[in-house]
Amino acid sequence: MKVYRILTIIILILTSLLVMCGCVILFPLKYPDVLYKNYNVIKIENRTINGVKTAIVYQIKTNIKYNGYDLDADSKRDIGIITYYVFKNTDVDEVQIICYYAGRGRLQPYYKFKIKRKDAELSGLLNLSEKDLNTGVLYCYPKLKSLGDLWVNDKLYVQK
């Protein structure tokens, strides 16, 4: 009787382990938690738009240093790092980042950025190591900006 009970427990444990392993294989985590924890990403959608596999990344910022014409240094870094992690961890062909500023009790669009994989490769961003990412991304940003498509809200109202 005890042998059957022990065998049943072992079979249940093995079955649950196999199911968990199967779920990891069938539904792998594509995006690292660092995007959600450190870069204010709230949602990432994978879509096919006009035959192009696209990741749309939504980001909300509550603290920005906005000068009315260009992005602050933190946002430039965020664009590079988000682009890097999405391209390194998926097979999408394009990344779109839509960032909102949460000020005055409502969400306002802050910037939108879009870049194709081949352009991100040309910028040198995808050649960086994770260790050099924080500093290297600021050197790659001017190329990312020129190869990608950036829109900045020039009518954004930022509380001081």
| Mean pLDDT in residue range 35-47 | 91
Of 32-41, 50-59, 146-155, the least confident: 32-41
Q: What is the pLDDT of residue 24?
A: 41
Interstrand relation of 149-152 and 52-61 (parallel, antiparallel or unpaired): unpaired
Sheet holding 41-49, edge to edge: 41-49, 52-61, 94-103, 106-116, 149-152
Angle ∠(120,123,129) on CA atoms, nearest 5: 80
Tokens describing residue 143 = 């190329």
